[in-house]
Structure 1
Amino acid sequence: MNYTFEYRSLSETLYDALVDDAFYITMEGSVSGTPGQRREAMRRYYDFSMQEARKYGRLVTPDGRAFGAAIWTRPVYGDLAGQMSNEKKTFIRDHMGAASLETYKRITASMARQTATVVPPAGWYLSIVGIAPPFQGQGLGETLVRPVLDRTDDYGVHTYLETFTPRNMRFYERLGFQEAGSFDEPVTRARYWVMVRQPS
C-alpha cells in the first residue's frame, strides 16, 4: 500500500537516533520482508507518529534543520481517544502488517498496565524524542523538549515518559524528570524506566 510522507527527512533522522531502542527493534523485527522493507516500515511509523502528534498533541521540530524531533501526546478521552487509537492501529495493520499490529498491541497493553501504577492520570506524554547521532551531545535535545515543558508548567500539569535506554535518563533528570519505576516488558524482553516531571 502506498504511503505519502510528510516528514521524510525527520523520519530518517528518528530511525537513526532510535536504532538501539528495544521497542523499535522489536517492532521492526515484527515486519515481514527484506531488511530494507523493514526499515522503510519503521520510517513510515515515525512519520505517522509525527502526524499524529501534530493532530493530537504537539510536534516540536527544529527550524530549518532536520536534526531531531520531539513527539508529545496530550491527554485525550472518550471518542477522541478511541479515534486516535483506531487510526494508529489501522496505520500499523495497513503499512506494517498484522504481526506488527499484534506486537504493538501486546507491548503497549503491558506498558500501559505497568506505567499506570506509577503515573497519575492527565499528564502530557513524551512518546518519542530523537536526535541524529552526529548532533547528539550538543545540548540540542533540550531545545526540542523545553517548549512543551514550559507550557505544561504554565498549565500546572505533569509530564512523563518511558525509556528503554538508561543512558538517556541523566538528560531527562536535568530537565526535572525523576524515575518513578522500572519494569520488565515481556514482549521486548527488556527493562524500561518510567520518569515523571512535576510542573515547576
Structure 2
Amino acid sequence: MPAQTIRRATEADAVDLLPVFVEGFLDGPIADWLIEDRDERRIIYERYFRLMLRQGLANGWVDTTAGLNGAAIWYRRPAAAAGPPPGYQDDMAYATGRHLARFRLIDAMFEEHRPRIEHIYLAFIAVAPGHRGKGVGTALLAHAHAELDEVGLPAYLEASNADNMRLYKRLGWEASPPLFLPKAGPPFWRMWRSQPDPTAADVTP
C-alpha cells in the first residue's frame, strides 16, 4: 500500500473536499438523529460542510492528502470558551434551515463537555468512499500526531460511533464513557490524546 502524502489544504481545495465530507458523514447514528430524511440531509450537509470548511481554513487548519481523497479539520482551542466567530450563528441558520435547533443542541453539548485546558481539537475527519480501508484516515492522524508531539499539546475529539472510537483507541487515544445526545439521541465518545510535556514550545502546527 503506497504511503499517503499529507499537506495543508488551501481555499482552492475546498470544492474538491466538500463531497469528501458530505459523503463521509452522510450516514451514521448522529446523521440520522440530525436529519431523518437522507435526501434532505445531503442538501443540508452540502451547505453545512461548505461552512465547516470555510471556518476551518479561516480559523484553524485543514490537512488533506495529495489526491484530495481525505481531509481533517483541526483547531487550537484555549482553556476558556472563546465563542463563535462573527457571523457564525447567521451562517449556521442559513446552512441548516429548519434543522438548526438540533445542530445547536449538538454544538452546545460538545461545548459543555470539551476539555477546559488548552488543546488541539479534531472537529472532522473524512475519507472519500472509494478510498476507505486504504490507510488514508490513519495517515492523516499519524501526520497530525507527529505535529502534536512537536507542539507538546494534548488533543481532543468526539467519536460518533463505536467503530471509530475503537480505531482511535488503537492509535493511542483514550475514551471516556459514552454521553448521549438530547431527545433520545445516539451516544458519542469524548476522546483524549495526552502529551507527556505540556510545557513544550508554544507554536501552532
Q: Is the 8 A contact 1:71 1:129 kept in 2?
A: yes
In structure 1, the residue matched to 2:5 is none
How many residues end up aligned between the 2 structures?
Answer: 185
The CA RMSD over aligned residues, in Å, is 2.6
| AA in 1 matched with 2:22 | Y
Over residues 15-50 of structure 1, what are the superposed CA-to-partner deviations in whole Å (9 max), with x where a residue is unaligned? Answer: 222222333333344xxxx96554122112112212
Higher helix share: 1
Kindly state the Cα deviation for residue 160 of structure 1 after the two structures are TM-superposed.
0.9
**What is the CA–CA distance in structure 1 between the aligned matches of 2:79 and 2:100, rounded to whole Å?**
22
- 1:70 aligned to 2:72? yes
In structure 2, the residue matched to 1:14 is 21
In structure 2, the residue matched to 1:41 is 44
Kindly state the Cα deviation for residue 83 of structure 1 after the two structures are TM-superposed.
4.6
- 1:199 aligned to 2:201? no
Q: Is the 8 A contact 2:173 2:193 kept in 1?
A: yes
TM-score normalised by L of structure 2: 0.78
In structure 1, the residue matched to 2:165 is 169
In structure 2, the residue matched to 1:139 is 135
- 1:107 aligned to 2:106? yes
Name the SS of the counterpart of 2:187 in structure 1: strand
Identify if the C-alpha distance between structure 1 residues 52 and 175 changes in structure 2 by more than 3 Å, giving closer, same or farther. same
Kindly state the Cα deviation for residue 55 of structure 1 after the two structures are TM-superposed.
1.5
Over residues 121-161 of structure 1, what are the superposed CA-to-partner deviations in whole Å (9 max), with x where a residue is unaligned? Answer: 21111111111222111111122223332222112111011
In structure 2, the residue matched to 1:82 is 83
Identify if the C-alpha distance between structure 1 residues 7 and 187 changes in structure 2 by more than 3 Å, giving closer, same or farther. farther
Kindly state the Cα deviation for residue 60 of structure 1 after the two structures are TM-superposed.
0.6
Report matched runs for 1:116-127 at 5 Å: 116=114, 119-127=115-123
Name the SS of the counterpart of 1:61 in structure 2: strand
**What is the CA–CA distance in structure 1 between the aligned matches of 2:117 and 2:79, rounded to whole Å?**
11
In structure 2, the residue matched to 1:93 is 93
Q: Is the 8 A contact 1:106 1:187 kept in 2?
A: no
Q: Is the 8 A contact 1:184 1:191 kept in 2?
A: yes
**What is the CA–CA distance in structure 2 between the aligned matches of 1:164 and 1:74, rounded to whole Å?**
21
Return the match for 2:152 from 138, 151, 156: 156
Identify if the C-alpha distance between structure 1 residues 126 and 134 changes in structure 2 by more than 3 Å, giving closer, same or farther. same
Q: Is the 8 A contact 1:157 1:199 kept in 2?
A: yes
| AA in 2 matched with 1:156 | G
**What is the CA–CA distance in structure 1 between the aligned matches of 2:84 and 2:106, rounded to whole Å?**
20
